[in-house]
Structure 1
Amino acid sequence: MAGEPAAGEGEPTVRQERNALVVSVTGHLDIDNVEPLSATLRRAAEDGVAPVVIDLSAVTFADSATINVLLQAHSALGPALRLAAPSSALARLFALTGIDTVLSLYASVAQAVDAGPPVSLGAESGDREG
């Protein structure tokens, strides 16, 4: 049926790569199939997994529901959330929505994984006590 996602589209695959959890997704990400990605990111946040790299290299489309999932994940994971290898269309969407100023974007999964440990937000607030 037209409009339905292809089999496997939006279904995340998860792997450990050095110090990071890499979540790969494919095809169209939209309101009809972004929930599995959302659930995977919620579990990673609940489990305290960090950093979490979302491999966007095979994503061909994303909508506002996807942007919402990414922002919710950012709220839960903070700087531990990293977006990797967005297509030019996704990079344009991120620029238009301003998400590229909120989330960390990397040209490749390897760059995102190698970016080092996430910044500790607690350490910054501790510096201001006094």
Structure 2
Amino acid sequence: MTDSDLHLDIVETRGPLAVAAVRGEMDLHTTADFYPRATALIDDHPHVILDLSGITFCDSSGLNTLLRLRRHADENGGRLTLAAPTDRVMHILRLTGIDTVFPLYADVTEARAAQPPRPS
């Protein structure tokens, strides 16, 4: 792995919920490969928590990819939740107002606890 790679590691799956850790740089050069892997995860598990604690850089392409993934989850009856953004990523989310369009939590445990209950 180089510093500019972007990885999506599935940490947990439980019915419609998946937790995935994202590591690396989220930019123009990495999001083209990342997006189809993330949409496939959403197709299998419509409620996805992305752990952003491993993101070292995020530019406008990365932000656009997150917004596109949110729309994909919405269209599939799911929800994309962001957890544990680094200070750097949180700054860009706030600066652009994107922090207001995502469920956003300090860590994965908090994000998991806030997920809607599974239907009986």
TM-score w.r.t. the length of structure 1 is 0.76
Is 59-68 or 11-20 further displaced after alignment?
11-20
SS in 1 for 2:115: coil
CA-based RMSD: 2.1
Is 30-39 or 61-70 further displaced after alignment?
30-39
What is the aligned-residue identity percentage? 33
Q: Which residue does the alignment assign to 1:70?
A: 66
Which 5+ residue runs of structure 2 have no aligned equivalent? none
Instruction: Tell me which structure has the larger Cα radius of gyration.
Output: 1
Q: 1:46 aligns with which of 33, 43, 46?
A: 43
CA contact (8 A) 1:9 1:25 kept: no
| Ranges of 4+ aligned residues in structure 1 off by more than 4 Å | none
Q: 1:15 aligns with which of 11, 16, 32?
A: 11
CA contact (8 A) 1:11 1:36 kept: no
Indicate the structure with greater strand content: 2
Q: Which residue does the alignment assign to 1:115?
A: 114
Q: 1:37 aligns with which of 23, 30, 34?
A: 34
Q: Which residue does the alignment assign to 1:123?
A: none
2:86 pairs with 1:90: no
2:43 and 2:110 mapped to 1: Cα distance?
25
Which 5+ residue runs of structure 1 have no aligned equivalent? 119-130
TM-score w.r.t. the length of structure 2 is 0.82
The residue type paired with residue 94 of structure 2 is: A
Shift of 1:38: 0.9
Distance 1:28 1:8, change over 3 A: closer
Count of matched residue positions in the alignment of Structure 1 and Structure 2? 113
2:40 and 2:55 mapped to 1: Cα distance?
21
The residue type paired with residue 24 of structure 2 is: G
Q: Residue deviations 1:20-43, cap 9 Å, x none?
A: 311212122111112333112211
